[in-house]
Amino acid sequence: MYRSSKYSKRRVFMKKRGILFLVVVLLTCMTMSVFAGAQMETKTGEGETYVIKMYSKNFTGLGSSTPVGKIIKEKFNIDFEFEKFTGDWQEKASLWLAAGDYPEIVYIEQNLDLLRKYINAGVLIALDPLAEQYAPNFLSFYKEALPYMRLNAQDKKIYYWPTGSPEEKEMFQTPFEMVVRMDLLKALGYPKIPENEKEWLNFFIEAKKKVPTVDGRPTVGFSMPLAEPWAVALLPAMSRTGRYQYLGGGKMVMLDCDNNTVDFILKNEYSKEAMKFFNGLYRAGLFDKESFTDKGAQTTEKFNTALILGSIYIKWLSEASNPTLNESGKADMQYIGLPFRLESMNENNDARYNRVMLVRNFDHYAITKKAKHPERIMELINWICTDEGQALLGWGIEGIHYTMEGNKKVPTPEFYNGFNNDPDYLYKQGLGIFGFLTLSTKLDDEGQSAVVELDPTVRFDSYNDEVKEVYAKYGWENYLSPWDKYETKGIDVTEWGAALTLNASSPEAKMMTKIADLHNDATIKLIMAKDDAEFDKIWQDSVNELKALGGEQVIQLIRNQYAEIVAGLK
């Protein structure tokens, strides 16, 4: 389903405004940062305060200790107590279900298979009757998404909400492509931005020569947190910047956007070319060997000290380090996003496709049967689904965090001071920790994001002189200017995302598990291949093994499920 005309108009609107936008904290990171857990307790006093314990990567303490959380408590007498969590969320949710020790609100990250296990186990509360009685705004907010949400349950009831939906942020944020230290551009004399993988390899070779150290330590040419399973799965999918898009979900599948069909990444020639680029970095001594054991925390530490010259896709990590670099006197070493294209894409005049989704199959929240007051939770969500509730979660409190000028929100000087100088300011204010209650990522009719830190104008106003100097040198009017030469389209991948879910007890699901292991193993071997001959052998051996594992059977099932979903929604 194509929506290119709609999104092209938005892009033109943004370009006319001349806005610049560099995302520091993605909504993805925000909604991923809060994880429901533990038990709920009731406090007595003036009325009954409903305290829900949550897990968070970025915030600890009572939600009511923040201005936003205080408003929520005052309105609904509900508070959230956040505890630190640093483990694997999918593993934790699986253990909860196996032990029958699940919390009152459960978070399931990305894994629709696990979500269905929770539903089939009968431990989640069907939201239909609750929403009809207590949360009609919830039904309106998710009106277009409800048919897809019902697909995950055999009884076709609603058992969860996919926060961050509908998702359109890929259409107006810096693309998930190359990230580089911007001082490299100056060191190399502000060269032409590389237009293909071969030029990018030469760029990093020359950049390493120009910037061999930082603070007396050797710089790292290129780094990725490959100890994270998602990073290993994703790397070959960096062929996603042309006609193909990665569908995610841990299914190792690419969507051919021009022909609306799917196949495995290991059969994609663009993916092979992308992996040759990473192999070239490795053979040139530029690919950080610690990448194979680094997780996100280690990569973040390297970004925070400007050790990394470049990376790909993980802009939420690189951009989150920019305030730290600014504070430590390394403002000229901040990271910016730039296009990554393959030579074949340019030769074939491939358009770039950005995903949009009615249902963002990543952050799923559900109320379990252990909830003492599910109706009160739904009453809160009902209000969150109003314009007033969305404004509170996304922008904060009027008069403190923003003022209104006509129909537009304008951040206050107090907000900008905190936002520009305190990396934890948003969390301290309660912005970015309550997105699990439901928060959209759409642009409104004024061109403003539902989330203040994703808003283009806010990003422009928060840029420092060093960033503006780079943009001025290249004549870039806004953050999308480096991509202006490439045709960009939006494609709705909601149906394909739903079609990726396989019955956990099916033969195809077991095949897919083995295929995922093959994919991840091949990724590491391809990066480390000693020469072209070994690389080609690893690739062909992997393609052959994919076939032997039943790859054709699995991909045909996914295609069939897609056809059934489309037919069923008509």
Q: Are residues 265 and 187 in the same domain?
A: yes
Q: Which two tokens stand for residue 145?
A: 């998404």
The verdict on 409 and 332 lying in the same domain is no
Give me the residue label for tokens 């079609």: 499
- Please say whether the beta carbons of 147 and 428 come within 8 A: no
Give me the amino acid identity at 424. D
Rounded distance, CA 65 to CA 428, Å? 8
- What is the rounded CA–CA span in Å between residue 492 and residue 355? 6
Report how far residue 42's alpha carbon sits from residue 50's, in angstroms, rounded to the nearest whole number: 5
Domain boundary among 334, 357, 380: 357
Q: Are 302 and 308 in contact (CB under 8 A)?
A: yes
pLDDT digits (tens, 9 = 90+) for 286-315: 999 999 999 999 999 999 999 999 999 999
Assess whether 134 and 45 both reside in one domain. Answer: yes
Residue 20, in any domain of the structure: no
Whether residue 227 is found in the same domain as residue 373: no
Question: Which of the listed residues 313, 333, 357 is the one where a domain comes to its end?
Answer: 357
Specify whether 231 is located in the same domain as 324. Answer: yes
Q: Are residues 132 and 205 located together in one domain of the fold?
A: no
Helix (H, G, I), strand (E, B), or coil: what is residue 386? coil
User: Contact 474/193 with Cβ under 8 angstroms?
Assistant: yes
Any domain includes 72: yes
Nearest-angstrom CA–CA distance, 337 and 482 = 9
pLDDT in tens, 61-113: 999 999 999 999 999 999 999 998 877 888 889 999 999 999 899 998 877 88
pLDDT in tens, 36-51: 543 333 333 357 899 9
The reported pLDDT for the residue numbered 34 is 52
| Domain identity same for 285 and 322 | yes
| Residue 525, domain extent | 499-569
Assess whether 157 and 231 both reside in one domain.
no
pLDDT, residue 221, reads 97
User: Considering the domain boundaries, does residue 491 fall inside one?
Assistant: no
Is there a domain that residue 284 lies in?
yes
CA end-to-end span of the chain? 13
Tens digit of each residue's pLDDT (9 = 90 or more) over 517-566: 999 999 999 999 999 999 999 999 999 999 999 999 999 999 999 999 99
Distance CA 476, CA 568 (A): 46
Q: How far, in Å, are 52, 208, 282 from residue 184 at the CA level?
A: 47, 9, 20
Is the pLDDT at 180 greater than 50, yes or no? Answer: yes
d(CA 568, CA 570): 6
Q: Clarify whether residues 323 and 203 are in a common domain.
A: yes
Residue 485 included in any domain: no
pLDDT exceeds 70 at position 35: no
The CATH number given to whatever domain includes residue 48 is: 3.40.190.10
**Among residues 297, 324, 357, which one ends one of the domains?**
357
Number of domains the chain is built from: 3
Residue 466 lies in a domain: no
Contacts of 498 (CB under 8 A, 6+ apart): 112, 148, 151, 359, 361, 561, 565
Q: Has residue 23 been placed in a domain?
A: no
Between helix 387-395 and helix 67-76 the angle, nearest 10°, is: 150
Residue 266: partners with Cβ closer than 8 Å, 6 or more residues away: 236, 252, 518, 519, 522, 539, 542, 543, 546
Domain co-membership, 234 together with 331: yes
Shared-domain flag, residues 202 and 156:
no
Is 511 a domain residue?
yes
Q: Are residues 297 and 399 in the same domain?
A: no
Residues 6 or more apart whose Cβ sits within 8 Å of residue 16:
none
